[in-house]
Amino acid sequence: MTISEQSRHELHNRLEDALGSEAAATLMEHLPPVGWADVATKRDLDALDLKLDALENRLLATFRSEMSSMQRTFILALVGSVSGSTLTAAGLAFAAARLV
């Protein structure tokens, strides 16, 4: 059974007749704004937690794999830049020594 706004209003009116307006309003505030089928349960939240954990693990595995594959490129680029600058400095030193 789907709960409509009209049925909620009718329930509120009957509660007002039986309990008074303040008690009826308090009781109605404790009802969910939608049907019970739309309210998440602990089981729903636990299932979502498991899905998020699995997603986190997949993302971390992908990140580690990417970093591992890029590690060789980083090292070669670093060695290449150090070697290049070292050779440049050595070449300049020899050229300056020949001028003197």
Residue 69 CA to its chain's centroid (Å): 25
* CB of 24 closer than 8 Å to CB of 16: yes
* pLDDT exceeds 70 at position 70: yes
Give the confidence band of 57 by pLDDT, cuts at 50, 70, 90: very high
Q: Distance between CA atoms of 97 and 100, rounded to whole angstroms?
A: 5
For residue 22, the enclosing domain spans: 1-39
Total number of domains in the chain: 2
Question: Residue 80: its pLDDT value, please?
Answer: 66
Nearest-angstrom CA–CA distance, 2 and 62 = 44
The band of 64, judged by pLDDT with boundaries at 50, 70 and 90, is very high
Query: pLDDT per residue over 6-49, tens digit each?
Result: 888 899 999 999 999 999 999 988 887 766 677 788 999 999 99
Q: Are 23 and 15 in contact (CB under 8 A)?
A: yes
- Same-domain status, 96 and 67: yes
Q: How far apart are CA 6 and CA 53, in angstroms?
A: 42
Same domain assignment for residues 30 and 52: no
CB 12 within 8 A of CB 28: yes
Q: Both 32 and 46 in a single domain?
A: no
Q: What is the mean pLDDT of the chain?
A: 83
